Amino acid sequence: MTALAHPTFRRLFTAQVVSLVGTGLATVALGLLAYDVAGDRAGQVLGTVFAIKMVAYVVVAPLAAALVVRLPRRAVLVTADVVRAAAALFLPFVDATWQVYVLVLVLQAASATHTPTWQALVPDVLPDEREYTQALSLARLADDLEMVLSPVLAAALLLLIPSHALFVGTAVGFAASAVLVATVAIGRPRASTGRGDPGFAELPLGARVRHGAVLLVRTPALRPVLALNLAVAAAGAFVLVQTVVIARSTFGQGDTAVALLLAANGAGSMVAALLVPRVLARLPDRTVMLGGAAALTAATALVPLALRVPSPAGLVLVGAIWLVVGAGWACAEVPVGRLVVRDLPEADRPAAFAAQFSLSHACWLVTYLVAGWLGAGGLTGAAVVLAVVCAGATVAATALWPRRASVVVDA
């Protein structure tokens, strides 16, 4: 991939990878810490932790984008990494659940500041659309590798160090990210849209907080992204929430089956992410993204049938479905950045990326709850409901997506 030939992007991408490794270690360590602090109530603590994470992403991302818009982007990224590292270093010393919640809120608020800033910076570093598409693919690949490899790395480290020491590894990942970003020369974004309009930085604070969401709603080419967020979250939430129940309760398998099913989902996403740049060179974004959403719908709708097939054939069938969900997920999600960059001026991109980050996680917050609560009453019913949601979102995205070249509408 020629995108990696650019020294600035290579360092930024390496920083993102090492910070994701730290995040993955923290996920494992938090589970162990929750059990140490709360015992049998560890599940309740972890549920609250994940809810705090999503709420922080939804609320903090647009607010942070509005507050830091006038600050140097390198300073914002480095500061966010330092805050995350400090929160991780404090976590081993907690002895009450409220302390866990506060530190997780701080850590995730810093992540909600860091990620949209990084996303808005990359298209400035790689103005060529082909190379930017490669960067989006690599970013998705890094996310998937974090989910797949971090638990393996954590398990290996636990053979040598106590569980609390995993938070040190988390802090090291964030610190390494800060050092790498600090070595990169990053220019300031444009102050205006170039169309005679005031730039994002010149708007009042309240308008800056709302600006990104307004852009997504008023820009025709970006409206379908809002619906696609819901389609991805509906299918993905069922996979992430109910895989352990399907493997252990439905098919009577152990932890290895859980890991294999999640690996199948990750493999589908990684393969699709690697292929997306080539596919987008031949097909329009609309075809690829709506095709991904259609695959998500079809796969989720097949879950009730797969659950009726006895093991091991049923387990293999679920694994194949999870593979399709991963591929559809990547196809629907990876090209989003291209639409933002293509249809919005540089001055508006930070607000748009922050809004997309916030609104997509709002969809996940809702679908996590739906998948969990409905799944407790029956996996078949939960799969049917989420498949209907996914189908409705796909139809809405299809209806909202203009077939002709998009036009940016003033926000």
pLDDT at residue number 229: 95
**Mean pLDDT value of segment 386-406:** 87
Residue 198 lies in a domain: no
Q: What is the pLDDT of residues 122-142, one digit of tens each?
A: 998 989 889 999 999 999 888
Q: What is the pLDDT of residues 263-311, one digit of tens each?
A: 888 889 999 999 999 999 999 999 999 999 999 999 999 999 999 998 8
Cβ atoms 342, 335 nearer than 8 A: no
329 or 185: which leads in pLDDT: 329
Q: Are residues 302 and 331 in the same domain?
A: yes
- What pLDDT does 224 receive? 94
**For residue 410, is pLDDT > 60?**
no
Can you tell me the distance from the alpha carbon of 276 to that of 134, in angstroms, rounded to the nearest whole number?
Answer: 8
Tokens 């560890």 belong to: 42
Q: Please, are residues 146 and 153 in contact by the beta-carbon 8 Å criterion?
A: no
Q: 154, 188, 222 — which closes off a domain?
A: 188
Q: What is the mean pLDDT of residues 109-133?
A: 91
Query: If you search the block for the tokens 């810490």, which residue do you land on?
Result: 33
As a whole number, mean pLDDT of residues 236-258 equals 85
Same-domain check for residues 32 and 66: yes
Say yes or no: 159 and 270 in one domain: no
Q: 195 in a domain, yes or no?
A: no
Q: Which of 122, 155, 188 is the last residue of a domain?
A: 188
Residue 409 belongs to some domain of the structure: no
CATH number at residue 339: 1.20.1250.20
* Residue 209 in domain: yes
**What's the pLDDT score for residue 80?**
95
Cα angle 175, 178, 183 (rounded to 5 degrees) comes to: 135
pLDDT > 90? residue 378: no
Q: Do 86 and 163 fall into the same domain?
A: yes
78 lies in the same domain as 134: yes
Q: Are residues 178 and 220 in the same domain?
A: no
- Residues 73 and 7 reside in one and the same domain: yes
Query: Model's pTM, two decimal places?
Result: 0.85
Does residue 194 lie in a domain region? no
Average pLDDT over residues 10-32: 87
> Taking the mean position of all CA atoms in its chain, how far away is CA 210?
21
On whether both 298 and 171 belong to a single domain, the answer is no
**Residue ranges making up the domain that contains 93:** 1-188
Task: Give mean pLDDT, residues 72-95.
Answer: 92
Q: What's the average model confidence in pLDDT over 24-48?
A: 76
Asked whether residue 255 is domain-assigned, the answer is yes
Q: Are residues 210 and 292 in the same domain?
A: yes
Domain count, the chain: 2
Give yes or no: residues 49 and 183 share one domain.
Answer: yes
Say whether both 170 and 89 belong to one domain: yes
Same domain, residue pair 248 and 309: yes
Please check whether residue 171 lies inside any domain of the structure. Answer: yes
Domain's final residue, options 136, 157, 188? 188
Q: Using a pLDDT cut of 70, give the percent of the chain over it.
A: 92
Of the two residues 162 and 336, the one the predictor is more confident about is 336
CA 363 to chain centre: 11
In a domain, 411, yes or no: no
